[in-house]
Amino acid sequence: MRTSVIAAAAGTLALALGLTACGAGSDSGSGGSGDKLVVGATPTPAGEVLAYVQKNLAKKAGLDLQITEFTDYVTPNTALQEGSLDANLYQHTPYLTDFNKSKKTDLVPVTEVYLPPMGVYAKKTKDVADLPAGATVGVPSDTTNEGRALQLLAAKGVIGLKKGVGGTATPEDITSNPKKLTVKPIDPAQLPRSLDDLDAAVINNNYALDAGLSPKKDAILLESAKGNPYNNILAAKKGDEDDPRIKKLAKLLTSPEVKKFIEDTYKGSVLPVAAG
């Protein structure tokens, strides 16, 4: 992730910590029994999945699960690195790898939990192939999700990209643009609110759900699950991945009960990993 983007996101969304559902060290509603574990998450779907575990599975497993919610993609990793969180759930491995590289953090994936497919949304267009010439398309401004968004557009043939750029693609890597689209990087959290000013936007799943959009029903183009590297992960600080509390949570998050909760709740808008 570019340092400037991180700084901007952290500054713009500094209120995230004020929106915690269950602040670290507070009564999480799990009954206060078992091994305390403080986990950071974005509200939807990560916070909802964790809340299901907290209410239905954690106590029986001997885990006192406490959830702290954030509205941006930066502070959950910063808090994890600094030790105010024990783990977090909200990001995919490519994002974590890029974050570690750019911010000199030492965080590791523990287990994959679900796929939140990225989608293209528009107010006036029903098919991405029908975007008007000269249309402005918003994409997430962080490095990995920007590249992911461009790959999604390229997969549909809306744009062409340099061979081999993969998830690191930027607008400068666009080699063909038959509709002469303007690709506009925007802070990921702001994309749903920017839809009125754009012809289309490629929006991360969690922010789409937060805005009341249904990826399954409302997206005019949705990522395929096949071969998708963007499963969201439970992450921890390096050296803590074998912590018994974190291993307990990892097992619960990949359980048949959580798989069913995700399927029943999101109805194809979020896809669980195979239950362990």
Q: 269 and 119 in contact (C-beta within 8 Å)? A: no
**Cα–Cα distance measured from residue 146 to residue 184, given in angstroms and rounded to the nearest whole number:** 10
Structure tokens at 125: 């267009």
SS (H, E, C) 234-273: EEEECCCCCCHHHHHHHHHHCCHHHHHHHHHHHCCCCEEC
Opening angle at CA 45, ends 137 and 120, nearest 5: 15
pLDDT at 2: 37
Amino acid found at 115 = L
Provide DSSP, the chain: --HHHHHHHHHHTGGGGGG-SS-TTS--SS-S-SEEEEEEE-IIIIIHHHHHHIIIIITTTTEEEEEEE-SSSSHHHHHHHHTS-SEEEEEEHHHHHHHHHHHT--EEEEEEEEE---EEE-SS-SSGGGPPTT-EEEEE-SHHHHHHHHHHHHHTTSSEE-TT-GGG--GGGEEE-TT-PEEEEE-GGGHHHHGGGSSEEEE-HHHHHHTT--HHHH-SEE--STT----EEEEEETT-TT-HHHHHHHHHHTSHHHHHHHHHHHTTSSEEPPP-
Q: What is the pLDDT along the chain (276 residues), one digit of tens a residue?
A: 333 333 333 333 333 443 333 334 333 333 445 799 999 999 999 999 999 999 999 999 999 999 999 999 999 999 999 999 999 999 999 999 999 999 999 999 999 999 999 999 999 999 999 999 999 999 999 989 999 999 999 999 999 999 999 889 999 999 999 999 999 999 999 999 999 999 999 999 999 999 999 999 999 999 998 889 999 999 999 999 999 999 999 999 999 999 999 999 999 999 998 644
pLDDT at 46: 98
Q: 107 and 81 in contact (C-beta within 8 Å)? A: yes
Q: Where in the chain is the domain with CATH 3.40.190.10?
A: 3-117+229-272, 119-222
Structure tokens at 206: 């969690």
CA proximity to 207, closest of 72, 18, 35? 72
Its CATH class, for the domain covering 3-117+229-272, is: alpha beta
pLDDT tens readout for residues 179-188: 999 999 999 9
pLDDT at 85: 98
Q: Which one is the CATH code of 119-222: 3.40.190.10, 1.10.8.100, 3.40.50.300, 2.70.98.60?
A: 3.40.190.10
**Cα–Cα distance measured from residue 174 to residue 34, given in angstroms and rounded to the nearest whole number:** 52
pLDDT at 274: 65
